[in-house]
């Protein structure tokens, strides 16, 4: 979601008809789509690779601050603040995929993390 937000924020500088709300909405929709794909098609090796490379907190932090500087240089101050805070804290947006996971795991009565561990990773739970 952060990469989508950053791409849309940079696009909004070069395409003035792209509003700030469009930037945020596209990032939220991308988060939801990736969440659905992750729920139904989970490939552990790919998730581990991405988590240790492109989505590592250090990489997200450096990119967030760098893109924030770029956005300030082009006068997009609000998007720059959102980019910096998102980069520093690795997540700031409403994570729609977490809400989706709650709805998808509701039929079993398990918390999403336990449902995922039991059904996707084959973990044996003591309850």
Angle at 68 between CA 63 and CA 70, to 5 degrees: 95
Torsion angle, alpha carbons of 107, 112, 118, 120, to 10: 100
Map tokens 């939220």 to a residue. 28
pLDDT at 127 (0 to 100): 67
Backbone angles phi, psi at 105, to 5 degrees: -95, 0
Residues 6+ apart with CB under 8 A from 104: 39, 112, 115
Q: Looking at residue 43, what is its pLDDT?
A: 83
Q: What is the mean pLDDT of each run of 10 residues along the chain (127 residues)?
A: 88 89 88 87 86 90 95 94 87 75 84 82 77
Domain range summary for the chain, segments of one domain joined by +: 2-119
Model pLDDT, residue 114: 86
| pLDDT score, position 52 | 92
Q: For position 69, what pLDDT does the model report?
A: 97
Predicted confidence at residue 71, as pLDDT, reads 95
């Amino acid at each position: 979601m952060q990469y989508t937000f950053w791409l849309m924020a940079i696009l909004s500088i070069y395409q003035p008809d792209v509003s700030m709300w469009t930037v945020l909405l596209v990032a939220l929709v991308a988060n939801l789509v990736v969440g659905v794909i992750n729920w139904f098609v989970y490939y552990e090796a790919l998730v581990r690779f991405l988590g240790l490379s492109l989505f590592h907190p250090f990489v997200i932090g450096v990119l967030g601050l760098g893109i924030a500087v770029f956005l300030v240089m082009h006068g997009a101050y609000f998007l720059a603040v959102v980019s910096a805070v998102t980069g520093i804290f690795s997540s700031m947006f409403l994570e729609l995929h977490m809400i989706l996971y709650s709805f998808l795991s509701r039929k079993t009565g398990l918390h999403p993390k336990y449902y995922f561990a039991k059904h996707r990773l084959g973990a044996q739970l003591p309850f």
